[in-house]
């Protein structure tokens, strides 16, 4: 999808409702655990409490930063970079959770572990798509710039003329 006013292909989350929903849900999960909700048994058994609080903070913080990236009103490429960073942090948090769940409960926690692993994998897939889109747009912008100035250095180009 192309933004009507920008020459940049727009893949930001403001057009992906399911991604916005998952980021908002992660903020609620992280804030709930951070404010005192008891940790899941697998987390409480596997990691110390201070690491659990750090995990909850990372989940909430990455969800919030991802939402900021989704609704960033300025440059779309900056919005996508913000969103990509948040998704990468969140996928690491979900990997920690999956490891704790499977170390604690093994196959009995298969459903919860698979759901969390799918969530983290979806975050990684989205970050990969953002990376590809940004790479393509950077190449397109470089080609466009080279075409505009015919490959000459900036100091050899004619200054822009003001319309009268």
pLDDT digits (tens, 9 = 90+) for 28-79: 999 999 999 998 888 888 889 999 999 999 999 999 999 998 888 888 888 8
Report residue 13's pLDDT band, with 50, 70 and 90 as the boundaries: very low
Residue 14: name the closest of 5, 6, 23 by CA. Answer: 23
Question: Which pLDDT value is given to residue 1?
Answer: 47
Specify whether the CB–CB gap between 145 and 18 falls below 8 A.
Answer: no
pLDDT at residue 16 tops 80: no
Average pLDDT over residues 107-129: 90
SS3 58: helix
The neighbouring-strand residues paired with 9 are 2
Residue with tokens 């466009």: 144
pLDDT tens digit string along 121-155? 999 998 999 898 888 877 777 766 666 656 566 66
Check residue 7 and report its DSSP letter.
S
pTM: 0.73
């Amino acid at each position: 999808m192309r933004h009507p006013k920008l020459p940049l292909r727009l893949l930001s989350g403001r057009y992906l409702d399911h991604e916005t929903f998952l980021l908002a849900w992660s903020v609620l999960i992280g804030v709930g655990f951070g404010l005192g909700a008891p940790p899941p048994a697998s987390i409480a058994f596997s990691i110390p409490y201070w690491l659990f609080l750090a995990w909850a903070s990372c989940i909430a913080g990455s969800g919030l930063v991802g939402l900021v990236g989704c609704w960033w009103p300025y440059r779309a490429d900056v919005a996508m970079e913000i969103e990509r960073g948040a998704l990468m942090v969140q996928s690491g948090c979900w990997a920690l959770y999956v490891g704790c769940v499977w170390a604690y409960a093994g196959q009995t926690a298969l459903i919860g572990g698979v759901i969390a692993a799918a969530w983290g994998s979806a975050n990684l897939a989205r970050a990969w798509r953002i990376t590809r889109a940004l790479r393509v747009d950077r190449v397109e912008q470089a080609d466009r710039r080279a075409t505009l100035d015919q490959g000459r250095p900036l100091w050899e180009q004619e200054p822009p003329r003001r319309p009268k």
